Structure 1
C-alpha cells in the first residue's frame, strides 16, 4: 500500500487549549541546530557539526486578515500557549481511498512583534504577530514526533531525547 500525503485539509488555532483564535495563516517555527565548524588533523576540510539538543531562536508568525482581539491579546508580554490543530489528507493508491490524519503543533511563545496592518477600504488589513518559541511539540496521528523545551533541556525526536544523558551529567 502506498500512502501519499497530499495536503492540509484545514486547521484551527487555539490559545490555552480552548480559546479559538480565528482565521490566521501560520508560519511554523524552523528547527535549526546550533553548529560549530570542526577542522584540523584527520579531517579533510571543515564540517559544521550540530550541538546536541541545542537550537537557534525559533519563531512562529500568525498572519491575520484584519486586526482583532485575538491578535492584540497575543501582544501581552507573557508566555502564550498556542495549539495549531489540523487534518492532513492522504491518498491510498492501493485502495483508491482518501483518509485524514490529525496533526497538532503546540508552542509556548512570547511576543516579539505585533503589526496591526494597514487601513485600506474594502481590503484585508494584513495584521500579524511574531512570537519567540521556547517550547515546540509536533504530533502526527497521535504520536509525538518532536518535543523541544529550551528551558527544561528537552530535545526529543521520535522518542529519543538527545539531552537525557546531558541532563544527568549536569545534575539536572
Structure 2
C-alpha cells in the first residue's frame, strides 16, 4: 500500500454459503483469532523460560456470524456437516496524494462445521439478534488478489505471506 493511502473502513460485505446462497441477514462477522499451539521451554542454558509456538499449528479457531433477525439461512447453517462460507468485502481507503477514495477487494473463505446456534430473543419492535458459530478447519484471506493467509488443518497447509510453514514438516513426515 502506498505511503499516502489511509485505510479507512470496510465499506460493505456479503457472505455466501456454499458459493451460492447470499446470507443477507448477517449483521456482522467476528473473524477467528490465530493462537499458535505452544509449549513452555526451560532447562539448562536458558535463563528462565519462554513459550515456543509449534510451526503451522493453531488452536481452535471460530467464526461468529451475528444476525439481526431469525433468518432461514441461520437455521440452514445448522446442518451437521462442513459448511463453506465465502465472505467478500470492499475496503475503503483514502489516497491523500490523489485526493480520492479507492476500493480494495477483501475475501475470506472459511470451511468447517457449525458448533453453536443462538436464534436470539423476541422483543416487540426490536431485532431478534442471534448468532452462528463455525469451527474453522480451512481459512484463506485474500486482499486485492493477493493470498495473504491460507490455513488448512487437514492438508497440512499454513501459508502466511507466501511462506508455507508446514512444508518442511510434511517432508519430514514423508507426505
TM-score, length-scaled by structure 2 = 0.95
- In 1: Cα distance, 2:88 partner to 2:96 partner: 26
Please state if 1:116 is matched with 2:119. Answer: yes
Q: Who is 2:93 aligned against?
A: 90
Q: Who is 2:76 aligned against?
A: 73
Q: Within 5 Å, give how 1:134-149 maps onto structure 2.
A: 134-149=137-152
Give the root-mean-square deviation of aligned CA atoms: 0.9
Contact 1:137 1:146 in 2 (8 A): yes
- Partner of residue 126 from structure 1, selected from 120, 125, 129: 129
Q: Who is 1:8 aligned against?
A: 10
Larger strand proportion, structure 1 or 2?
Answer: 1
Q: Within 5 Å, give how 1:95-106 maps onto structure 2.
A: 95-106=98-109
- In 1: Cα distance, 2:87 partner to 2:10 partner: 12
- In 2: Cα distance, 1:42 partner to 1:90 partner: 49
Aligned length: 172
- In 2: Cα distance, 1:7 partner to 1:44 partner: 44
- Per-residue deviation, 1:97: 1.5
- Partner of residue 50 from structure 2, selected from 47, 52, 72: 47
SS of 1:91's equivalent in the other structure is strand
Q: Who is 1:18 aligned against?
A: 20
Unaligned runs of 5+ in 2: none
- In 1: Cα distance, 2:140 partner to 2:65 partner: 17
Contact 2:39 2:51 in 1 (8 A): yes
